[in-house]
A and B are shown apart, each in its own frame.
Chain A
Amino acid sequence: EAQVTQNPRYLITVTGKKLTVTCSQNMNHEYMSWYRQDPGLGLRQIYYSMNVEVTDKGDVPEGYKVSRKEKRNFPLILESPSPNQTSLYFCASKLGATQQGGKNQPQHFGDGTRLSIL
């Protein structure tokens, strides 16, 4: 089944303790992205990646890092989490613009990861 898988689904942790949220897709998509969803603000893009070893900032990148060493994985790293990073996080992927059929494609979303930073 074609899907975007995030882990963990839920995490409660403390300020300053480094954490990584993994994201994996099995659709051979070149493009992957991370969002955070907060009440009243909708989803805001944190980082995106157009291909392996190519990452770029979204609208709210502060406090986050990403890496794209392989096409299928795009982990989100919080080096020193703070309470204002408590949120619901979504990973998404889609065909890249250079992939066949990749123009104007919608993004496929994972189930979300709920992070609580105390």
Chain B
Amino acid sequence: AQRVTQPEKLLSVFKGAPVELKCNYSYSGSPELFWYVQYSRQRLQLLLRHISRESIKGFTADLNKGETSFHLKKPFAQEEDSAMYYCALGYNAGNMLTFGGGTRLMVKP
């Protein structure tokens, strides 16, 4: 069965420090992977998807099929990056989405 694991519930860093939010998945097929972000009192928004290989707000994520990981990285964290981050796996032709438990990122001044 498909599963997404975000091992850290809370990650606290200082402004300017590098950030890595971990995501591991298990899925027997070809995965579609996403990172969603939820700022305080706002809706869930797409941050990245693996097929785009883009950088949004300085964040990048690389799909590592060997390690079944899709970690989210940013070289220099900003205070406005403080939010809840969810890794998600799309499957069943994109009709189903399984989320990890989320990681709360706190960037301290």
Q: Chain A: residues with CB nearer than 8 A to chain B? A: 31, 33, 35, 40-45, 48, 50, 56, 58-59, 90, 92, 94, 97, 103-112
Docked CA distance A43–B93 (Å): 19
With contacts A104-B32, A111-B43 taken as known, whether A42 is within 8 angstroms of B96 at the C-beta atoms is no
Interface status of B9 (Cβ within 8 A of chain A): yes
Q: Chain B: residues with CB nearer than 8 A to chain A? A: 4, 6, 9, 32, 34, 36, 42-46, 49, 51, 86, 88, 90, 93-102
Q: Is the CB of A112 within 8 A of B95?
A: no
Docked CA distance A12–B96 (Å): 29
User: What is the distance, in angstroms, from B40's C-beta to the closest C-beta of chain A?
Assistant: 13
Docked CA distance A105–B34 (Å): 10
> Which residue on chain A has the smallest CB distance to residue B44?
A109
Q: Given A42-B100, A104-B49, output 16 extra A-B contacts at Cβ < 8 Å.
A: A31-B95, A41-B101, A43-B86, A45-B97, A48-B95, A48-B96, A50-B95, A58-B96, A59-B96, A59-B98, A104-B32, A106-B34, A106-B46, A107-B46, A109-B44, A111-B43
